[in-house]
Amino acid sequence: MINVQNLTKRYGSHLAVDNISFQVNEGEILGFLGPNGAGKSTTMNILTGYLSSSEGNVSINGHDILEEPNEAKSNIGYLPEQPPLYLDMTVREYLDFVFDLKQCNFNRQKHIGEICRLMQIEHVYNRLIKNLSKGYRQRVGFAQALIGNPPVLVLDEPTVGLDPNQIIEMRALIKNLGKHHTVILSSHILQEIEAVCDRIIIINDGKIVADDTASALSEKYSSDRRLMARIAGDEKRVTDILTHIAGVAEVICYGEKEDGVYEYVLEPQDGADFRRALFTALSKEGYPLLGLRSMEMSLEEIFISLTREQLPQTTIRKGGKRK
Amino acid sequence: MSAIFKREFKTYFTSPIGYIVLAMIFGLSGYYFFMYNLADGYADLSYVFSSVLTFLMLLVLPVLTMRLMSDDKRQKTDQALLTAPVSLTGIVLGKFFAAFLLFAVGISIMLVFAVIIATQITPDWLVVAGNFIGLLLLGGMIIAIGLLISCLTESQFVAALGTFLASFALLMLDSVGSMLSSSTVVVAITDFLSISQRYSNFTSGLMQYDDIVFFVSTTALFLFLTVRVLDRKRWN
């Protein structure tokens, strides 16, 4: 459906998108994930024909965006980061305008009515866009993308500005749209991508650093069998015992969680399984092991570990989960 | 193209701009028409046409064109236009004709004046037609220049000022030429480019092919440049 080949975008000497390639199949919901300035919006702007690439090809439904721009563009509905709204128009006038602009040839009233119902903007239909709240503007922008029923939807941070209930509704809506549309969705909210998307592309510094399903990603990056253990007893002494267990590469203490009970994260050496050795060592010294669980990497942690160089230290330490 | 044309034309009347522009044209030309033609009893409309309206055009057209492109960029609505299945030429022409139509509506007041005169005495219709067509062609060219300048900036004020200065300079071109009359090359160039000379041919009822071709082709040239500037912005 969407085919991106060796896409590169330079702004002067700055490389915004660096030779990325990917395909999106029909009916797929692809999540585009990356920190601010990673090149998400630039890529989306190129996909939709707003910007031209410096190198590489983009084809939408078999139409090259540069060679057959009108055919390619009529296959795409685009919601940019900032919805492209004419503030001096009413919602009705605006959607009518978009309907004409996209040269749609079905029943205007019915089509726009359906979209307004779907986006729940019927009751602001006759109001000036300038007087709408950010959430409503976002929805009018989304409605604009849906006009003409394009098979491909490109949504740049569609839930920005919505309240939590609306965000949940919006995600359900996108998921639902994904049954009949090919959707590319960008976000820096990881739960959103995890909840909505079939496939995730993590982009950092203009490059694709990961491209897989959410579950495959967390499997791939959590194979290191890190363990979280709760052990009662003196912190220094226990740490000493733990570091001497064969197969343990690193021990980090997360502090006192209960009275006299400390939590430790154990990093294995080359994926070694040291659970038995751990039990034996602790029982020999008389320190009770109160809890032990493996630490699956969440999408958030995968994201952080893949894009770490770009993030300030404080973000990495969020929640005290990472060393 | 028609969607953009319709929207832009309507926007002139959802904002005060359309009303202000029409009021300025109707009011000022009406005042001079009354003073010069009705009160003093001249049947010749040339003065109202060529002096008043040319001056008005310099003030009014930059206002008509200033937000056509710059506002789309500032509000990011150009993302909707450029990602819709419309060609760049369609976008530019839609906007051009919206401004052109409003301008044409404004100056058609002169035809009303001509009809008023015709109730008393037969005016020189050829001169009236020449003035009207000349004004339309000149206005079209300035609108195209305004569109190009509006495309180069996000600020409406800069767009308006730039258009005013550019069109003013163009109209002054042959007085610069006559100042430098010692150089025949300069005079030849300014004579060829001279807009006021070509325009004054129209005001005396002379409609010559080369003048028409000059105005139409310069208008087309500026529209083409606008399209190129829009396209170039997508590349960097």
The residue among B83, B229, B233 with the most chain A CBs within 10 A of its CB, best to mutate, is B83
Specify whether the CB–CB gap between A3 and A173 falls below 8 A: no
Residue A128 DSSP one-character state = B
- Using a CB-CB cut-off of 8 Å, the residues of chain B touching A50 are 78-79, 82-83, 234
Chain B CA closest to residue A13:
B236
When computed from its CA atoms, the radius of gyration of chain A, rounded to whole angstroms, is 25
Q: Spell out the per-residue pLDDT of chain A, length 323, in tens.
A: 899 999 999 888 888 899 999 999 988 999 988 888 888 899 999 999 999 999 999 999 999 998 999 999 999 999 998 999 999 999 999 999 999 999 888 899 999 999 999 988 999 999 999 999 988 999 999 999 999 999 999 999 988 878 888 888 888 999 999 888 999 999 877 778 888 888 999 888 888 888 888 777 766 665 556 788 899 888 888 888 888 888 888 888 888 888 888 888 888 887 778 888 888 888 888 889 888 887 766 667 777 777 765 444 444 333 444 43
Q: Which of B189, B185, B149 is nearest to B167 (CA)?
A: B149
Residue A1 DSSP one-character state = -
Pick the most confident of B49-63, B78-92, B199-213. B78-92
Q: Do B78 and A84 touch (CB under 8 A)?
A: yes
ipTM surpasses cut 0.95 = no
Q: Which residue has the tokens 């904002």?
A: B15
Q: Do A84 and B77 touch (CB under 8 A)?
A: yes
Scanning B70-129 for CB atoms below 8 A from A yields 75-87
Q: Do B234 and A51 touch (CB under 8 A)?
A: yes
Which residues of A have a CB under 8 Å from any CB of B?
A: 11-12, 45, 48-52, 54, 69-71, 73-74, 76, 78, 80, 82, 84-89, 93, 97-98, 100-103, 144
> What pTM was computed for the model?
0.82
**Mind telling me how many Å the CA of A162 is from chain B's nearest CA?**
20
Specify whether the CB–CB gap between A217 and A210 falls below 8 A: yes
- Which DSSP helix (H) or strand (E) runs through B65? helix B54-74
- Using a CB-CB cut-off of 8 Å, the residues of chain A touching B83 are 48-50, 73, 76, 78
Chain A CA closest to residue B7:
A97
**Mind telling me how many Å the CA of A230 is from chain B's nearest CA?**
54
- How far is CA B236 from each of CA A9, A12, A44, A72, rounded to the nearest angstrom? 9, 7, 15, 21
Q: Which residue has the tokens 């959802």?
A: B14
A27 vs A67: CA distance, rounded Å: 25
Phi-psi region of A155 (alpha: psi -120 to 50; beta: other; left: phi over 0): beta
Q: Is A241 helix (H, G, I), strand (E, B) or coil?
A: helix
- Using a CB-CB cut-off of 8 Å, the residues of chain B touching A102 are 84-85
Q: Which residue has the tokens 């919601």?
A: A79
Selecting from B15, B76, B87 the residue whose C-beta is nearest the C-beta of A88 gives B15
Burial label for A307, CB within 10 Å (0-12, 13-18, 19+), is: buried
Q: Do A88 and B14 touch (CB under 8 A)?
A: yes
Query: Per-residue DSSP letters for B152-196?
Result: H-S-HHHHHHHHHHHHHHHHHHHHHHHHTTT-HHHHHHHHHH-HH
Q: Do B235 and A89 touch (CB under 8 A)?
A: no
State the SS3 of A61-92.
CCEECCCCHHHHHCCEEEECCCCCCCCCCEHH
Q: Do A50 and B84 touch (CB under 8 A)?
A: no
Burial label for A265, CB within 10 Å (0-12, 13-18, 19+), is: middle
Q: Which of B79, B90, B70 is nearest to A50 (CA)?
A: B79
